[in-house]
Amino acid sequence: MEQSGQRLVLVSQMQDYKELPMAERTKGAVVAKPSTLSGWRGGPVLAPWSTREIVGDLSDDLHGRATAICVIPWGPDPLVIAWLRARAAVSVVDGSVYPKPDEPLLDPVIEAAMIELGQLVNHANGLASRIDKAFAVQALQKLHQAGYRWNLDHLGGWALANGFTGAEEDRLRQYATKVLQGSRFSPQPTDPYSSGAVERWRDQAKQLPA
């Protein structure tokens, strides 16, 4: 409330929030659900008890307009936790960086592939266009054929924290699930990646921060 800009409290249920003491302390802020948010010009965002929808919205529609984001996790949702880890979120209580386990969210080779995917696709299309879907599916299939596997929530949390929109995360999860299950896809356009893509990602993975 001390920050400049149009303050926003992003909630999943309006009535639940109005009945809490926090509502009185944030009087004067815009309080809205993702589905009803309109006309917000930009500023600090408080997201109490964030759901997957809210995290997706923070990475999508509010991207570039939020000057600061404070999230209060709602239970151990693995996608939200992965997103906080990928964002290297800092605790407002003690200033510590959100705890990181010994293992990274993604295998570095998978991360290198996703970085390249993010550079190739048109993020406005939500991975729905024929060519953008082909980029995503082909990357995932190449990784899978090379023996790489992924945690879907870790993949989604990383994607939302690294430039992918909520709609893209949803479709990436769908494609990634089908690839893990060995599902067949309708014929894709010609392989959009050059030969040796996995070897390239392995080389790029060596340059990623630990």
CATH assignment of the domain containing 200: 1.20.1290.30
**H runs (alpha helix) in 43-151:** 52-59, 78-86, 108-120, 130-145
Q: Tell me if 173 is assigned to some domain.
A: yes
In a domain, 183, yes or no: yes
Region of 49 please: left (phi>0), alpha (psi -120 to 50) or beta: left
Report yes or no on 98 lying in a domain.
no
Count of domains in the chain? 2
State whether 113 and 70 are in the same domain. no
Residues 54 and 12 in one domain: yes
Sign for the pseudo-dihedral over CA of 192, 157, 154, 96: positive
Inside any domain, residue 29: yes
Asked whether the predicted pLDDT for residue 149 surpasses 90, the reply is yes
58 shares its domain with 140: no
pLDDT for the residue 154? 94
* In a domain? residue 83: no
Do 122 and 49 sit in the same domain of this protein?
A: no
Residue 93 lies in a domain: no
Same domain membership, residue 116 and residue 55: no
Q: What CA–CA distance (Å, rounded) separates 132 from 122?
A: 7
Residue 141's pLDDT band, with cuts at 50, 70 and 90, is very high
What's the distance, CA 38 to chain centroid? 22
Give the residue-averaged pLDDT of 106-123: 95
Cα(202)–Cα(143) distance, integer angstroms: 11
For residues 114 and 199, membership in a common domain is answered with yes
185 and 126 co-located in one domain: yes
150 and 67 within one domain: no
Starting at the edge strand found earlier in the chain, the sheet holding 8-10 runs 30-32, 8-10, 43-50, 66-73
Residue range 171-188, pLDDT digits in tens? 999 999 999 999 888 877
What pLDDT score does 101 carry? Answer: 64
Contact 165, 59 (CB under 8 A): yes
196 lies in the same domain as 121: yes
Examine the domain organization and report whether 53 and 112 are in the same domain: no
Domain shared by 134 and 65, yes or no = no
Q: Which domain holds residue 58?
A: 8-75
> pLDDT exceeding 70 applies to what percent of the chain?
93
pLDDT in tens, 45-67: 998 888 888 888 887 766 678 88
Structural domain includes residue 65: yes
Q: Is residue 103 part of a domain?
A: no
